[in-house]
Amino acid sequence: MFAESEQLDSPARITLRAIYHGRVQGVGFRYRTTRLVQQYPIYGYVKNLPDGTVEVVVQAEDKTVLEQFFDDMMLTFAANVADVLVEEIDCEIHFQQFQIER
Contacts of 13 (CB under 8 A, 6+ apart): 43, 59, 60, 61, 91, 94
Helix, coil or strand: residue 97:
coil
- Report phi then psi at 78, rounded to 5: -55, -35
Catalytic residues: 30, 48
